[in-house]
Each structure stands twice: as C-alpha cells, then as structure tokens.
Amino acid sequence: MRRRKFIALLGGVVAAWPFAARAQHGGKIPRVGFMGNSTAALEANLIGPFREGLRERGYEEGRNVEIVFRWAEGRYERFPDLIAELIAANVDIIVTAGTPATLAVKKATSTVPVVMDRSAPASCRTWRGQAATSPG
C-alpha cells in the first residue's frame, strides 16, 4: 500500500515539474531534493518506487534528473540544517515522505515548491500557498 501511495506522490512531483524540467533552458538537469525523516535504509521501501516512478515518466537519475537526498535519521532537530543544505544545492523541488519533514520544509521555505505524501495533515498540504490538489 505504501508503494502505491508513494508512486501517487511521484505523480504529483511530475505534474508540478513544468517549471523545472519541461521548461529547461540550456539543458539544465532538474534537481529534486528528497527530505527523509529517518535513514536511507529505513526508507528504502519508498526510494525504490520513487525512482521507478521517475523512470516510468522518462526521468532517469544521473541522465536527465538529479536527486539530492538528506536524511534526518530520526533526529528532527536536524531538519533546519538539512533543508538549508537542499536549498543551497539549488533544488527545483523538495519531496518529503512524512509529516515531520513536510512541516519543517513548509516552515523553512516558501520559495521552493514542496510535494508531500498523503500522510501530511491537511493544514500543510499546500503549494506556495495554494491547495496541493491544484498546484500552480
């Protein structure tokens, strides 16, 4: 079930990507930031489907999309620094896989779009101040 939910999340990433990937100038490879609540090992069940969903939509990591991962390792006090690293890496969008990361990104930036899974509360399902169901 989590796999299907995460692939649905990926659909949101791709739908929200016109500004980053489809309207590229000069061949710039879009950069996706991924903010994880725990570790890569514990969230491997999400990362595999995430990459698979990107491939199904024509995006291949290392070829035409870059993914920058940051992991809080269960230490949520690390979120501000990790999010600052993603922003400094000039990511075009940040994907979160849980409520704690989603709330932290929402608090940290209003300039980088955020896509979150459906576990986030309705109060933080926003996209630059608009309903997440109709970004843009």
**What pLDDT digit, counting tens, does each position of 43-66 carry?**
888 888 888 888 999 999 999 999
Residue 97: C-alpha distances to residues 5, 25, 87, 92, 119 (Å)? 10, 29, 17, 17, 8
Q: At residue 27, does pLDDT exceed 90?
A: no
Domains contained in the chain, CATH given: 2-17+30-131 (3.40.50.2300)
Contact assessment for residue 68 and residue 33, using Cβ atoms and an 8 Å cutoff? yes
Dump pLDDT digits (tens) for 97-136: 888 898 899 999 989 999 886 554 454 444 444 434 433 3
**Cβ contact 95:9 at 8 Å:** yes
Over residues 30-46, the pLDDT tens digits come to: 999 999 999 999 988 88
| Residues listed for the chain | 136
The average confidence (pLDDT) of the chain is: 77
Report residue 1's pLDDT band, with 50, 70 and 90 as the boundaries. Answer: low
In terms of pTM, does the model score above 0.85? no
